[in-house]
Amino acid sequence: GEEVAQTPKHLVRGEGQKAKLYCAPIKGHSYVFWYQQVLKNEFKFLISFQNENVFDETGMPKERFSAKCLPNSPCSLEIQATKLEDSAVYFCASSQSGSNQPQHFGDGTRLSIL
């Protein structure tokens, strides 16, 4: 597609439950990025992929967060045993190449942990 498609738009989970978010990058884009937006404006990089391979995971909390990009499937970001502090908007972006190319963002998934 011509847009980065993120689903669902809003996800509500009780503390301790699992949350799974999906992202379909723009067709032909090789790189996928996940960001977490907290406190309304602050963006934090989580992880990036080059095709199905992890490219940079330096921003990922190791214990409960995982992500995949498998061929012919949307990419996914999964949070196990969610905590209140995981409440945020999670954005996915894709680009044709990783460096110096504009990233195209989806509309985000708002995760609310109750």
Residues that bind another protein (CB under 8 A): 4, 6, 31, 33, 35, 40-43, 45, 48, 55-56, 59, 91, 93, 95, 97-108
Element (H, E) at 110: strand 109-113
Whose Cβ is closer to another protein: residue 34's or residue 86's? Answer: 34
Nearest to 82 by CA among 16, 28, 11: 16
Least CB distance to another protein at residue 53 (A) = 12
* Distance, CA of 25 to CA of 54 (rounded, Å): 15
Nearer to another protein, 41 or 72 (CB): 41
Query: To the nearest whole angstrom, how small is the minimum distance from the Cβ of residue 100 to another protein?
Result: 4
Closest distance to another protein from the beta carbon of 55 (Å): 6
Closest CA to 22 of 106, 113, 114: 106
Q: How many CA atoms are closer than 13 Å to the CA of 57, on its beta-carbon side?
A: 12
Q: Name which of 72 and 89 has its Cβ closer to another protein.
A: 89
Closest to another protein by CB, 13 or 55: 55
SS3 per residue for 51-63: CCEEEECCCCCCC
Least distance (Å) from another protein to the CB of residue 93?
Answer: 8
